[in-house]
């Protein structure tokens, strides 16, 4: 081994002469060796993760060569310092290779922070898993967004973009992630229902509401209605409802229609009941009463002998018809006052001149106001002279009775007629067999009395007319007895026609019809014989009577048989009898012979 006694410079050649023996006694003498001194070495080491580059980058460097080494950290690492034959903290380090250099670049691993935030008009939180203060490059973390009640996660911005939730993130540096939350908007659906009407006030009034918004709803019934309660997502009976929005709400406010009672009182002017009178109300109340705002028409209808004075209480005025707009329970009083009538009595003769030949009296005596409608009064008539008699009352009293009780219904004069004469009515009928005359009323008669005459004709007779003191054809008729009267009623028999024939059809008539006696006229009760004779090859079927009522009359009178070819009928009206004939068909000439079978 050759060991120089002094350092040899780099990149030089050295010749060495060797004389000597080794331990094995092998000897060398006069040997010569040449050595080349190497170039200076540059050795680089890395602690951590990164690379070192050399400038210039040579396999070997001549002595004295300046070299720059640069440390470049890998992602997630940071250059820290140089150590060894040279030191420093700058990434680039200048060296002169006048010696061997061994240097180490130390890299420190980066620590990254993940910053999370929330945004939007909603609220929520972000959870990071794993949860650490810092993270290394390449770490994979999971982010989960959790919306608070009333909010919705809308998406990520920043280091993560999108709406996936949860989402993973690979750490590549300090990174910020924002989760956006939107506030939910909730609708309030309101419905008003029921037989009544009303409205709902909402405070605050908005189209939609955010979670936890406090609301006050106030239901207000319209006049004539009552709030009945809340239903739906909330129930309550009070008109004011306080609530907090946490979801879509459906609420119904119910209102019921109010009904009111209309009481009608009927009194006189002394506030005493006057049931004789009446008040009509239209429209009539239904079972529940009248609705708010309904218009009722009230009409006062006084009974005979009463006058309507006016309205009191809920309505006023003196017109018989008035209206009331119902806004609550109401009482209406209709006031009626009685009418008083003035009566006088007098006595007159046949010429309606006042007479002293009769005396008249009315009781009870009339008071200062007069008589009330419906009050009973008695009039009395008495003859005051020989040969004079009471005939009748006329005027406010109509009677043939000298003492008559009547009901007062009007003011006026009761006139008693007196006479010294007798009056008669003679009735004559032109033919006593033709009917009778009925007079109503029956005698005796008074002067001026109205008599109704009615002619009742006998069957088959007709009234023709009146003659004498009564002219005309009216039946019944009225005549006034202001003198002796003679009246004649003319009657005559009714002439009827009876006709015969054959019921029409195609072909020949099929027969003939005869009537005995013939040809008329006929009178009620006459009897007629009808004979139907069929032609050869025909047979009689039946009688047909026109009009049909004649057949029913004939049947009732004589047991009319329509299938008998010869009948006798009693005449009760004009009629036509038609004979119906039918052709006779061929005869069946089949012969049936016995058959005897022998064996």
Structure confidence at residue 442 as a pLDDT band (50, 70, 90): confident
Structure confidence at residue 438 as a pLDDT band (50, 70, 90): very high
Computed from CA positions of residues 366, 372, 375, 380, in that sequence, does the dihedral angle turn out positive or negative? positive
Q: How many domains does the chain have?
A: 7
Report yes or no: 314 and 350 within 8 Å, Cβ to Cβ: no
Tokens of 345: 């009595």
Predicted confidence at residue 405, as pLDDT, reads 96
Predicted confidence at residue 23, as pLDDT, reads 79
| Position 22 in a domain | no
Structure confidence at residue 32 as a pLDDT band (50, 70, 90): confident
**pLDDT(84) > 70:** yes
Predicted confidence at residue 558, as pLDDT, reads 54
**pLDDT(327) > 80:** yes
Tokens of 219: 């239901």
Indicate if 57 and 70 belong to the same structural domain: yes
Round to whole Å and give the CA distance between 136 and 113.
9
Tokens of 447: 């002067």
Residue 556, SS3 per DSSP: helix
Predicted confidence at residue 24, as pLDDT, reads 81
Distance of CA 421 to the CA centre of its chain: 81
Predicted confidence at residue 444, as pLDDT, reads 73
Average pLDDT over residues 361-374: 89
**pLDDT(117) > 70:** yes
Predicted confidence at residue 422, as pLDDT, reads 67
Structure confidence at residue 29 as a pLDDT band (50, 70, 90): confident
Tokens of 544: 């047909």
Contacts 24+ apart (CB under 8 A), 141-146: 141/114, 141/168, 141/169, 141/171, 142/166, 142/167, 142/168, 142/169, 143/116, 143/167, 143/168, 143/169, 143/177, 143/179, 145/179, 145/181
Structure confidence at residue 590 as a pLDDT band (50, 70, 90): very low
| Position 306 in a domain | yes
Considering 160, 183, 206, which residue would you say is the last residue of a domain?
A: 183
Average pLDDT over residues 487-497: 93
Indicate if 325 and 380 belong to the same structural domain: no
Indicate if 125 and 52 belong to the same structural domain: no
Q: DSSP characters for 362-394?
A: EESPP-SS-EETT-EEEEEEEE-STT-EEEEEE
Indicate if 158 and 189 belong to the same structural domain: no
| Position 402 in a domain | yes
| Position 89 in a domain | yes
Structure confidence at residue 550 as a pLDDT band (50, 70, 90): low
Predicted confidence at residue 17, as pLDDT, reads 78
Predicted confidence at residue 592, as pLDDT, reads 34
Structure confidence at residue 128 as a pLDDT band (50, 70, 90): very high
Structure confidence at residue 478 as a pLDDT band (50, 70, 90): very high
**pLDDT(594) > 60:** no
Average pLDDT over residues 413-430: 86
Round to whole Å and give the CA distance between 349 and 420.
9
Indicate if 406 and 446 belong to the same structural domain: no
Residue 349, SS3 per DSSP: coil
Average pLDDT over residues 554-559: 50
Is residue 362 packed enough to be buried (19+ CB in 10 Å), middle (13-18) or exposed (0-12)?
middle
Task: Work out whether strand 114-119 and strand 175-183 pair parallel, antiparallel, or are unpaired.
Answer: parallel
Report yes or no: 198 and 192 within 8 Å, Cβ to Cβ: yes
Round to whole Å and give the CA distance between 477 and 470.
8
pLDDT tens readout for residues 445-470: 776 789 999 999 999 999 999 999 99
Dump strand ranges (E) for 124-166.
Answer: 124-129, 140-147, 151-158
Report yes or no: 224 and 292 within 8 Å, Cβ to Cβ: yes
Burial annotation 480-510 (CB, 10 A radius, 16+ → b, else e): ebeeebebbbbbebbebebebebeeeeeebb
Round to whole Å and give the CA distance between 445 and 448.
9
For residue 250, list its beta bridge partners.
189
Considering 152, 168, 183, which residue would you say is the last residue of a domain?
A: 183
Structure confidence at residue 505 as a pLDDT band (50, 70, 90): low
For residue 64, what are the domain limits? 42-109
Round to whole Å and give the CA distance between 495 and 515.
17
Considering 85, 109, 133, which residue would you say is the last residue of a domain?
A: 109
Mean pLDDT of the residues in the chain: 89
For residue 525, list its beta bridge partners.
none
| Position 19 in a domain | no
Structure confidence at residue 588 as a pLDDT band (50, 70, 90): very low
Report yes or no: 148 and 120 within 8 Å, Cβ to Cβ: no
Round to whole Å and give the CA distance between 404 and 345.
13
Report yes or no: 234 and 243 within 8 Å, Cβ to Cβ: yes
First-to-last C-alpha distance (Å) of the chain: 174
The DSSP secondary-structure symbol of 236 reads: B
**pLDDT(591) > 60:** no
| Position 591 in a domain | no
72-76, 172-176, 288-292, 528-532: which has the minimum mean pLDDT? Answer: 288-292
Residue percentage of the chain with pLDDT more than 70: 94
pLDDT tens readout for residues 397-409: 999 899 999 999 8
Average pLDDT over residues 502-515: 79
Maximal CA-CA distance, the chain: 226
Average pLDDT over residues 321-327: 94
| Position 134 in a domain | yes
| Position 3 in a domain | no
Q: DSSP characters for 402-431?
A: SEEEEE--S-EEEEEEEES----EEEEES-
**pLDDT(598) > 60:** no
Distance of CA 121 to the CA centre of its chain: 46
For residue 332, what is the enclosing H or E element? strand 330-338
Round to whole Å and give the CA distance between 325 and 260.
11
């Amino acid at each position: 081994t050759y060991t120089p006694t002094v350092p040899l410079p780099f990149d030089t050649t050295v010749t060495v002469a060797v004389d000597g023996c080794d331990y094995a006694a092998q000897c060398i003498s006069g040997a010569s060796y040449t050595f080349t001194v190497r170039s200076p070495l540059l050795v680089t080491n890395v602690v951590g993760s990164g690379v070192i580059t050399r400038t210039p980058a040579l396999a070997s460097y001549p002595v004295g060569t300046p070299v720059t080494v640069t440390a470049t950290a890998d992602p997630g690492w940071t250059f820290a310092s140089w150590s060894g034959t040279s030191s420093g903290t700058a990434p680039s380090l200048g060296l002169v290779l006048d010696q061997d250099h061994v240097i180490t670049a130390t890299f420190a691993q980066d620590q990254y922070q993940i910053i999370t935030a929330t945004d939007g008009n909603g609220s929520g939180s972000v959870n990071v898993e794993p949860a650490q203060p810092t993270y290394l490059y390449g770490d994979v973390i999971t982010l989960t967004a959790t919306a608070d009640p009333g909010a919705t996660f809308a998406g990520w911005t920043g280091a993560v973009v999108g709406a996936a939730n949860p989402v993973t993130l690979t750490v590549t540096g300090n990174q910020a992630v924002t989760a956006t939350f939107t506030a939910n908007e909730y609708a309030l659906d309101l419905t008003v229902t029921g037989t009544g009407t009303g409205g709902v006030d909402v405070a605050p009034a908005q189209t939609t509401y955010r979670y936890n918004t406090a609301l006050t709803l106030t239901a207000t019934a319209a006049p004539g209605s009552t709030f009945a309660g809340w239903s739906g997502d909330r129930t309550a009976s009070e008109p004011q409802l306080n609530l907090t929005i946490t979801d879509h709400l459906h609420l119904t406010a119910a209102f019921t229609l109010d009904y009111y009672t209309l009481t009608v009182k009927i009194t006189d002017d002394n506030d005493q009941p006057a049931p004789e009178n009446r008040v009509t109300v239209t429209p009539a109340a239904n079972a529940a009463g009248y609705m708010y705002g309904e218009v009722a028409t009230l009409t006062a209808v006084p009974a005979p002998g009463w006058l309507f004075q006016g309205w009191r209480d809920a309505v006023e005025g003196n017109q018989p018809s008035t209206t009331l707009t119902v806004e609550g329970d109401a009482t209406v009083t209709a006031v009626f006052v009685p009418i008083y009538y003035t009566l006088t009595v007098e006595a007159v003769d046949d010429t309606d001149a006042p007479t002293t030949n009769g005396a008249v009296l009315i009781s009870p005596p009339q008071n200062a106001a007069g008589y009330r409608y419906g009050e009973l009064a008695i009039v009395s008539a008495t003859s005051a002279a020989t040969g004079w008699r009471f005939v009748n009352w006329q005027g406010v009293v109509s009677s043939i009775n000298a003492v008559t009780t009547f009901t007062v219904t009007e003011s006026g004069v009761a006139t008693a007629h007196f006479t010294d004469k007798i009056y008669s009515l003679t009735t004559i009928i032109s033919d006593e067999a033709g009917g009778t005359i009925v007079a109503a009323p029956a005698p005796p008669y008074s002067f001026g009395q109205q008599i109704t005459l009615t002619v009742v004709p006998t069957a088959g007779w007709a009234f023709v007319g009146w003659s004498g003191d009564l002219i005309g054809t009216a039946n019944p008729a009225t005549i006034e007895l202001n003198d002796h009267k003679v009246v004649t009623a003319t009657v005559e028999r009714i002439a009827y026609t009876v006709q015969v024939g054959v019921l029409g059809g195609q072909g020949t008539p099929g027969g003939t019809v005869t009537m005995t006696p013939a040809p008329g006229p006929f009178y009620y009760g006459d009897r007629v014989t009808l004979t139907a004779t069929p032609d050869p090859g025909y047979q009689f079927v039946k009688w047909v009577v026109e009009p049909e009522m004649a057949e029913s009359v004939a049947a009732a009178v004589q047991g009319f048989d329509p299938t008998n070819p010869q009948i006798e009928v009693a005449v009760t009206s004009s009629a036509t009898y038609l004979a119906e004939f039918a052709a006779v068909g061929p005869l069946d000439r089949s012969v049936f012979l016995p058959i005897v079978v022998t064996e």
